[in-house]
Structure 1
């Protein structure tokens, strides 16, 4: 509790000197907490740990502060995933360079046993997706399933090396809240690009 001037007192009541009511102090910690709050809808509430293509261990909250464009793929996929990758690169090509600083493209593997960080890094280079704005993530089977549930992505192993899966590109704001989803392969991504531009211009 605080009186006028710099005197403070541990309990509520009135000041023994000036008799005025004491005012509660706002601590720096409480200010910091309010600045760092994330909503219940944020993917940053997921506490699972992931490995990037560089082998670094991160949590999703480490991606906070940038607009995120996220998709779930696996590197040995010969059908849908190459087209999803092409869609992601097509979206990137439509974003002005000035907006790329506020943007991160994140590709999450649904096949964590095969898609090691080393394999993801090689895949990134092969597909010219090894710039700073690209991140590939390998999780555990349970963290991948949890993340897929949040994105409403369904996937199922149909052979030792193949999965059937949803083809959804998701856009999140800098606080990890889902803003837009694009479903399908090779579809018109005008709305997705517009959502990204609005978010990245807002952060600049």
Structure 2
């Protein structure tokens, strides 16, 4: 009777150890499978080799922005609903960035409607909102390049009429190496975004 009880207890302990080990392994797997922050291949937005035009009609590549922190949003100038709110959020963020950090920062607005948002249109839009000149930069490109950048930023958009798009409301922050360090969607806490910028090297 004692021998049977001993064998039973030994087997019971073995199964308890086995179950505990499987549980720990399962927890480790779940931890390792947590999604990583959204970022471009190689960790930097500057690996994208697409060509863009700014509001002055000058052709540039994103890698030319390296060396400055970036606050990025995607809009279209004929938008009368979400985009004006996004632009206002960007202006609030800009106003709360430390003046020294602001010199090291580019506030970037990218058009999702390159067909209608020509450099001339972007220039007029910027002037109308007192966003012409540093740290503000407006960019447009071909549809493929815009879609590629939108994928990196996790911005979804869809054309629902010749001049209207539905799109995500996301502001993304990149450090001087083009690596995403923060991203906010919907209602933006300008102080929080500015704090991220102020804390970067």
| SS of the residue 1:192 aligns to | helix
Equivalent positions of 1:1-204 (< 5 A) are 40-185=42-187, 187-199=188-200, 202=201
**2:55–2:139 contact (8 Å) kept in structure 1:** yes
Which residue matches 1:26? none
For 1:188 and 1:194, the matched residues in 2 are separated by 10
Question: What are the Cα deviations for residues 113-158 of structure 1, in whole angstroms up to 9, with x where unaligned?
Answer: 0000010000000011112111000110000000000000000001
Aligned-residue offset at 1:193: 1.3
Aligned-residue offset at 1:192: 1.1
> How many aligned positions are there?
162
**1:182–1:189 contact (8 Å) kept in structure 2:** no
Question: What are the Cα deviations for residues 157-200 of structure 1, in whole angstroms up to 9, with x where unaligned?
Answer: 01111000000000000000010001113x3233211111011x
**2:126–2:132 contact (8 Å) kept in structure 1:** yes
Unaligned runs of 5+ in 2: 1-40
For 1:59 and 1:146, the matched residues in 2 are separated by 14
**Rg larger in structure:** 2
For 2:42 and 2:147, the matched residues in 1 are separated by 19
**1:112–1:138 contact (8 Å) kept in structure 2:** yes
Unaligned runs of 5+ in 1: 1-38
For 1:177 and 1:96, the matched residues in 2 are separated by 21
Using the TM superposition, name which of 92-101 and 134-143 deviates more. Answer: 92-101
| SS of the residue 2:91 aligns to | helix
Question: What are the Cα deviations for residues 79-130 of structure 1, in whole angstroms up to 9, with x where unaligned?
Answer: 0000000000000111122221101000000000000001000000001111
